[in-house]
Amino acid sequence: MSRHIKVLKGEFLYREGDPASALYLITSGSFKATTILSSTGAELTSPNIFAGHILGELSLFDGRRREHSIRATQDSEVLAIPYESLLSQPEELPAWAEALMKAMIDHLRTVINHLRAHSIHNLQPEQ
């Protein structure tokens, strides 16, 4: 079942590489997503993510580990919804809808990887 979690300013909701088991609905406060580029060690940071947004949804169907870290930029609260409770009644979700969502997630991950590659290029010192 879902549960409310308080995350204090500066604390991580989750870190890059963590196993994924829930998605999170931000109910108050704000967060930033960060990722470390392995080639340069540079940190990429998102704009603030506010109440009403969902975090951690990409791993719902593909089960991959977290690809970025989420840190509170102010005292915040989220509603954690375990993946198992969302997927406990698969008959409710038609097979074509699940396949479509998996394809969309694959596409989003491809876009994210392209953005990372572009950011790596832009972070290289000019010669």
pLDDT score, position 14: 97
Q: With a threshold of 0.85, does the pTM exceed it?
A: no
pLDDT in tens, 29-41: 999 999 888 778 8
57, 23 Cβ separation under 8 angstroms: yes
Give domain limits for the chain. 3-123
32, 36, 69, 71, 127 from 9: Cα distances, Å = 11, 20, 14, 8, 40
Query: Alpha carbon of 42 to those of 26, 47, 76, 97, 118: distances in Å?
Result: 27, 16, 26, 37, 13
Q: What are 8-29's pLDDT values in tens digits?
A: 999 999 999 999 999 999 999 9
CATH number, domain 3-123: 2.60.120.10
102 DSSP β-pair partners = none
Compute how many other C-beta atoms are within 10 angstroms of the C-beta atom of residue 18.
15
pLDDT tens digits along 48-70 = 999 988 899 888 878 889 989 99
